[in-house]
Amino acid sequence: MSPRPRVLMVPPTYYGIEYEINPWMDRRQPADTAAAQRQWDGLRSVLVDRLGAEVCLAEPQRGCPDMVFTANAGIVLGDQAVLSRFRHAERQGEEPHFAAWFAAHGYNVQRLPDEIAFEGEGDALFVGDTLLAGYLYRSEVRGHQRVGELLGVRTLSLELTDPRFYHLDTCFCPLDGQTAAYFPGAFDEYARRVLAAEVPLLVAVVEEEAVRFACNAVVLGRHVALNTGCPNLEADLRTLGFTPHATPLDEFLKAGGSAKCLTLHLDRQLVRCLDGGVPEVP
């Protein structure tokens, strides 16, 4: 693993609200291209200068306005990359570009059967060595088990219930192996029970910050990059020993995205081997 954790981003050159595939998108509220570029540059600086990340870039593609949301490219563990299969045709054109990027950067690209929708790290997040995976609006529950088998990890599925929080990373944010922030209203009763059983410390986010995509935060070590306008979560993070770094991302909220959606973790490793509990060499 490189000393600086690497994340994948795509510049917002062709970003825009060109179709509507979630409740946030409204073609009558177009993105301001210059502001989007400034906000994306601002996030990138926070990631590099404050969170200590190395940002890898993939080439933006004309006709792929949501390609900035690299969390949906797939999910990476070690040298394996499980490629997304987008639910909506509007985003399926991104798949070959992300597949080519993963292959060119030494990943073993794994694919799910065509008929199973899976939207990558947008819907699948590690808490320790367990993959928590969201379904209903985008990814399908039967895809989660395939992803778990491909990556060799324990996988638990969580049903999402609020179309505003259509990806797991819009309402759930693992902070470390024991702690996560979440918006309880986005989960069904059983999913809330699974979360309570799996995550020793759950920090609830209030609705007015959940709709600012407070949970859609990038966590690297004890540093957290997130959208502005989430003072309660920022205070909770400080109490827990994390340092929040707020940066404006409203142009991306118009497409239903924020900090986490704009990044994909490239260096995810298991904390422990499943058999003997022997830590992997980082």
- Provide the annotated active-site residues: 167, 261
Q: What are phi and psi of 136, to 5 degrees?
A: 125, -60
- Binding residues for ligand ARG, rule CB under 6 A, total 16
Binding residues for ligand ARG restricted to 247-266, rule: CB under 6 A: 255-257, 261
Q: How far apart are CA 243 and CA 104, in angstroms?
A: 34
CB atoms within 10 A of CB 29: 10
Q: Does 174 bind ligand ARG (CB under 6 A)?
A: no
Helices marked H in the chain — which ranges?
A: 33-45, 89-92, 95-104, 141-151, 189-198, 207-210, 231-239, 250-253
| Six token digits for residue 278 | 């022997």
CB of 250 to ligand ARG, least distance (A): 14
CB of 163 to ligand ARG, least distance (A): 11
Amino acid sitting at position 43: L
Q: Does 72 bind ligand ARG (CB under 6 A)?
A: yes
Q: How far apart are CA 120 and CA 263, in angstroms?
A: 11
Q: How far apart are CA 255 and CA 106, in angstroms?
A: 31
Q: Does 66 bind ligand ARG (CB under 6 A)?
A: yes
CB of 122 to ligand ARG, least distance (A): 3
Smaller CB separation from ligand ARG, 130 or 170: 170
Q: Does 134 bind ligand ARG (CB under 6 A)?
A: no
Q: Does 173 bind ligand ARG (CB under 6 A)?
A: no
Q: Which residues bind ligand ARG (CB under 6 A)?
A: 21-22, 25, 66, 69, 71-72, 91, 122, 167, 169-170, 255-257, 261
